[in-house]
Amino acid sequence: MANSKYEYVRSFEVEDEIMLPNIIIVRIDGRNFCRFSKFHEFEKPNDMKALELMNLCADAVLEKFPDIIFSYGFSDEYSFVLKKTTKFYQRRASKIHSLIVSFFTSVYVNKWKAQFPQKDLRYAPSFRSRVIGCASIEVLQSYLLWRQSECHLNNQYDTCFWQLIKSGKPENEAEEMLKGSLKQDRNELLYQSFNINYKKDIPEIFRQGTCSLRTVEDIVKYKEDGSAVKRCKRKFTRVYSENIASRRFWNNQLCLVKELGQFTEDLSKTKSEYVKSFQHESRLMPSTWIVVRIDGCHFHSFSDVHQFEKPNDAQALNLMNSCAAAVLEEFKDIVFAYGVSDEYR
């Protein structure tokens, strides 16, 4: 399109650069995952294999995109934090979150059979994504506190709910029993009725969620003449913490302090105005024609690795076309699609 008469079309692209000094978070979560988990018979309230699959996908994302230095996830969601000074795709929100969520989804499908060898993937999962800009390290800290609080509250509720169901209660009665209950009420219910100590008996991966962070390790190798050569090896580590928004946890991770900054105080709760900003979603004006364009990222390399026929591979094109047909089937508001090579609109 560059230097052609159609170059003006680029002017219609949404301008969505996340300006410095905002810290970029990409949050993804499963679309209609209640239905997906029921269809694939996940264990309730938590399926360890399903959680491990999510964690493997997050690990793959950290390995693929070096500007991501921290991730936090639970249930069917994950948040990825990029280093403060990132220039990844010129900090364009639409580029960043579409790349991360598409890669995450493809890994989920690719690794399904390894986690669930006895289960077929009966239909393709899909994940939503959004970019959240945090204007300061304090806002990032509030975001992490908010998400881990949601992890705890949701898991505690689900644990109570499914214990009641397994004890013979109908779903509507279980919901009514838990309506308006507080954390302490649910802890008492679990202990008194089911002899479950929530903090001691429920694994930390369910209660706390999972963190992965990128670290740098110095490796020393020696040449034949005996001289030492020092190299830095980047790797990522999974960790668990009751409070990922605490100074004690965060400030002990040197890589996070270096790339994002220190937490200066501990927070007891997230400010309501911050939560409102985290939940905000941009919308296009009514009566605006919406065109979604997708194209392969590094597809030259992908096609070489998978030995596509040149200049055109009929099977690869048919695969693209079948994907487009599935999209039209799933999203009824899409009325037209056009594709060529590794792109579709």
Let me know if residue 288 belongs to a domain. Answer: no
What predicted TM-score, i.e. pTM, was given to this entire model?
0.89
CA distance 36 to 19: 36
Contact 189, 181 (CB under 8 A): yes
On whether both 171 and 313 belong to a single domain, the answer is no
- Domains in the chain, number: 2
pLDDT of residue 12: 67
The last residue of one of the domains, among 228, 250, 279, is 279
CA distance 304 to 320: 17
Distance of CA 150 to the CA centre of its chain: 15
Place of tokens 């400030």: 251
Q: Which of 266, 236, 235, 237 is nearest to 250 (CA)?
A: 266
Let me know if residue 287 belongs to a domain. Answer: no
Let me know if residue 285 belongs to a domain. Answer: no
Let me know if residue 85 belongs to a domain. Answer: yes
The boundaries of the domain holding residue 161 are 15-279
On whether both 226 and 163 belong to a single domain, the answer is yes
Task: Supply 273's token pair.
Answer: 């105005």
On whether both 150 and 19 belong to a single domain, the answer is yes
pLDDT of residue 271: 85
Let me know if residue 334 belongs to a domain. Answer: yes
Task: Supply 144's token pair.
Answer: 């992490």
CATH number at residue 90: 3.30.70.3000
Let me know if residue 2 belongs to a domain. Answer: no
Which residues does the chain have with pLDDT short of 70?
1-13, 216-223, 226-233
